[in-house]
Structure 1
Amino acid sequence: MNVTDMTDTTGASTMHGNEQLAIIIPKLREVGARIDPSQLDGPSPCKEFTVAGVLGHMTGLASGFAPMFRGEEPPSGDLPPDDSTDLTRFDRAMADLLDAVQSPGALDRTIQTPGGEMPGAVFARLVAFDGLVHGWDLAISTGQPWDLDDDLVAEIDGFARQAITDDLRDGDAFATEQQPAADATPVERLVAFSGRMI
């Protein structure tokens, strides 16, 4: 089974993807707000990305995903210049994504994603997983905590282990699963599953 074949029946899950994002996105915005501009050029655990690179990557994805959840066409071509900073663009994009995923019909739409066509409910779970992992990247890179409720992490972990199959581990989006330490937290175990070194 791959992500595009999944429906929103992820075992004993009790939270929809938009509910997961309602927790994760505010935490992402908190981490972003505490990043000092002097940290933007620093390295991150996300394959060759600096902190600014992770922010830019997430901002770009969120800016493309938000219209999809609203049933609109994503932006194409060159966008007009933006004189805001990496941090303010990131915060604005995260706020817009959360608004979009909470919009009427967002989870019911069939969305044409970079990974293929999939139900909005499934795509929201994938975005929550991505946000959790990249939030860890940013927090670790800038010396911040990345504390999430264990129940939330368990739900996202259960989805990820169904969705992320070996054929998706191309070394780019997902690297080879890493072995976490015996005392790893639930977040660290999920991050290791994504291919991050802990």
Structure 2
Amino acid sequence: MSFDKTIHLPVTADEAFALVTEPERLRRWQTVAARVDLRIAGDFRWTVTPGHNAAGTFKEIEPGKRVVFTWGWEGGGDLPPGASTVTITLEPEANGTSLRLVHEGLTEEQAASHAMGWNHYLDRLVAETTSDGGAGPDDWAWAPDPIDYLSSADAALAILLGVLRNVTPADSDKATPCEDFNVAQLLDHLAGSLQNIGRALGADPADVKEAAPETRIAELAQPTVEAFTRRGVEGNVDMGFAELPATMVAGILNLELLVHAWDFATATGQHVAVSDVVSDFVTELAQQTISEQVRSSGSFAPAQPTAETASSLERLLAFTGRNVTL
């Protein structure tokens, strides 16, 4: 069985090729995070939705014309990486490009489920190229089911990157809810935290400081979360200054991604929307991670009061010492 669909995009074939192969473009319409080694036999790994990672290798590459890659799901059982093949063909046409996607090597049940997925994402690809605001946040990344340490981190990363996408150099000196940091300094802090966690997990994420904020953080977070997914949350992690339970390190990662998303949004006049499923889970992690000893070290301010009507996210932020009435 196969899935076969053709859409029209009002962009050049080269622009369409970039949209389906470059991590920064993929994050706009299809993925939370993406690693791409665009060469024959090079591999890719896309976090399509929180906790669901597609992987495969490139078989054919004709820039601006065609790309063929194998496709499967990590831990997917009956459709592991390499078990099926996706072919994307681009043809110039009036006012844009015709994009045809064919997914082959599927069972009837797999074809039905992938048709639902591809239709969703191809609609978002069209929206990315036709709507003033692009494809926008993906509803499918809203509330992981089931939620765990790493699917929660994926969901938090999606929120953070959506905020950072709108942060510009003009925002660098703006104050943030973190008293010691302006926007530029908070970016450096977050980048350093992701890099340290990644290295402790066996990854070696590079910090490209001159990159745009969203790209900089995405390129640090993707290998860090991927390394955590490979390792799991059992045992301890040597963070250099101490050995910490892996669950605590995962809690720190979630807090860095989600709480700082709100910090950046608040500093730059953006609104951040978070599912209660995610904020409730990260609050549980915060309660396990932020002890009075941790607060006394200066890492977190004292917990702040909240109104009875406070949202789940506001309760999380107040627990981390933030004044949600700002």
Establish whether TM, by shorter chain, passes 0.5: yes
| Match in the other structure for 2:238 | 112
Quote the residue 2:247 is aligned against. 121
Residue 302 of structure 2: which of 168, 176, 185 is its match? 176
1:118–1:48 distance in 2 versus 1, CA, 3 Å: closer
Listed one character per residue, the Cα deviations across residues 18-48 of structure 1 (whole Å, up to 9, x for unaligned) are 1111111122112111112111110000122
Which stretch of the first structure deviates more once superposed, 49-58 or 176-185?
A: 176-185
In structure 1, the partner of 2:223 is 96
Q: TM-score, normalised by structure 2?
A: 0.50
Which residue, 37, 41, 45 being the options, matches 2:177? 45
Where does residue 256 of structure 2 map in the other structure?
Answer: 130
Structure showing the higher helix proportion among its residues: 1
Deviations 1:93-147 (A, max 9, x none): 1223232222x22423521236731232332122112322111111111112221
1:133-190 deviation per Cα after TM superposition (whole angstroms, max 9, x unaligned): 1111111111122211102211111222233221211262111111123332211111
Contact kept in structure 2, 1:17 and 1:125, CA below 8 Å: yes
Please report the RMSD computed on the Cα atoms of aligned residues, expressed in angstroms. Answer: 2.4
- 2:238 aligned counterpart, secondary structure: strand
Q: Structure 1 residues 86 and 114 mapped into 2: Cα distance closer, same or farther (>3 Å)?
A: farther
Counterpart amino acid of residue 108 in structure 1: E
Instruction: Name 1:19's counterpart in structure 2.
Output: 151
Distance 2:147 2:247 in 1: 11
Provide the C-alpha distance between the structure 1 equivalents of 2:179 and 2:240, rounded to a whole number of angstroms: 19
**Counterpart of 2:198 in structure 1: which amino acid?**
A
Figure out how many residues of one structure are paired with residues of the other and give that number: 178
**Structure possessing the higher radius of gyration over alpha carbons:** 2
Q: TM-score scaled to structure 1, two decimals?
A: 0.79
Aligned to 2:199: 67
Name the SS for the 2:201 alignment partner. Answer: helix
Given candidates 262, 265, 277, the residue that maps to 1:151 is: 277
Which residue does the alignment assign to 2:13? none
Are the aligned partners of 1:56 and 1:86 in contact in 2 as well (CA < 8 Å)?
Answer: no
**Pair 1:83–1:62, CA change in 2 (3 A):** closer
**Contact (CA 8 Å) 1:69, 1:109: kept in 2 or not?**
no
| 8 A Cα contact 1:180 1:192, kept in partner | yes
Structure 2 unaligned runs (5+)? 1-145
- Higher deviation after alignment, 30-39 or 86-95: 86-95
Residue among 123, 128, 140 paired with 2:266: 140
List runs of 5+ in structure 1 lacking aligned partners.
Answer: 1-13
CA deviation digits over 1:67-100, x for unaligned, max 9? 2223x6x79xxx99x5623614223212232322
Residue 156 of structure 2 aligns with an amino acid whose one-letter code is: I
